[in-house]
Amino acid sequence: MTGSSRGLGRAIALEFAKKGYNIVVNYRKRESEALETLRQIREFGGDGFVVKADVSDPGQVDSMFKEIRDRYGGVDVLVNNAGWGFLAPVETMEDSLWERHIKVNLNGVFYCTKRALPYMLDNKWGRIINITSIAGIRGVRYLSAYSAAKAGVIGFTKSLAQELKHTGVTVNAIAVGFAKTDMGMSFFKALNLDLERFLEKYTLTGDLVDPVEVARLVVYLASDDARNITGSVFLIDSGQSLAYDPLDLVQG
Ligand SMILES: NC(=O)c1ccc[n+]([C@@H]2O[C@H](COP(=O)([O-])OP(=O)(O)OC[C@H]3O[C@@H](n4cnc5c(N)ncnc54)[C@H](OP(=O)(O)O)[C@@H]3O)[C@@H](O)[C@H]2O)c1
């Protein structure tokens, strides 16, 4: 579970814990939050360990997978959840900011997938679930780098599903809308958006996405029941992709 120290990643880890999975809690910076995820995993009946690795760095991803092999012998389910986004207009965006978005949100998915696949192919069974965003489907103003990376994840998912034909390994993506996590709330804060107005005008359900909703779909996609679902992109977005432009609410 990449990026499971908090947010969607933690919620997904806890749903897997309820099914008794061993979970690798990956994080980049916040060790104490990762340990809190692990504590809650154990409370829910699962087990696991925490591993610090920046998914944008192939060397760190190698070390993480070596530790996973040494402890568990391999990987059955990979959830590529770690992600990051920052608002910036294209005209003035530093090249390094663009590159960082692609490295974390797209390269990280490739690095982890490539290293998990050999175990899955050997077992003739595996599940890869990529967390992407509606930004990768409809685009979001000032989130071009993030949107490009998240659209890349969708292309990667569909191509890989074809590459994995008849292998027992499936790969799917979930495109999430604004959700109740640190990342989701930081956009509202950065833009000084009125949450009530956003919910009224730019969602069809009147609520932000609850991480548990995403977590339950991930666990379903990881199950045997979902063996004929591959190459699919699911939207969980409160209807946001059909009617929203949060930046319309920015004053001035
Ligand atoms: N929240 C939303 O509104 C929303 C909407 C659409 C899509 N998404 C996508 O959903 C996923 C989860 O988002 P979230 O809202 O849960 O975000 P969040 O609350 O900001 O949590 C991000 C998680 O990813 C980890 N992370 C960030 N960069 C990393 C890196 N380079 N290597 C390894 N781990 C890294 C963080 O670790 P640390 O705690 O150590 O920093 C943290 O565990 C992301 O892919 C995001 O793009 C979110």
Position 191 scores a pLDDT of 84
Residue to mutate (ligand 1; options 1, 2, 8; most atoms within 8 A of CB) = 8
Question: Average pLDDT of the chain?
Answer: 96
pLDDT band at 250 (very low <50, low <70, confident <90, very high): confident
Contact criterion met (CB below 8 Å) for 148 and 101 = yes
Task: Please give the model's pTM, rounded to 2 decimal places.
Answer: 0.96
Task: Note the residue count of the chain.
Answer: 252
Residue 119 pLDDT > 80, yes or no? yes
What structural domains and CATH numbers belong to the chain?
73-240 (3.40.50.720)
- pLDDT single digits (tens) 36-91: 999 999 999 999 999 999 999 999 999 999 999 999 999 999 999 999 999 999 99
Residue 246 pLDDT > 70, yes or no? no
111 included as an active-site residue: no
Measured in Å, residue 108 CA sits from the centre of ligand 1 at: 12
For CA atoms 76, 6, 65, 161, the dihedral sign is positive
DSSP labels for 65-130? HHHHHHHHSS-SEEEE---------GGG--HHHHHHHHIIIIIHHHHHHHHHHHHHHHHT-EEEEE
pLDDT band at 199 (very low <50, low <70, confident <90, very high): very high
Question: What average pLDDT does range 16-24 have in this prediction?
Answer: 97
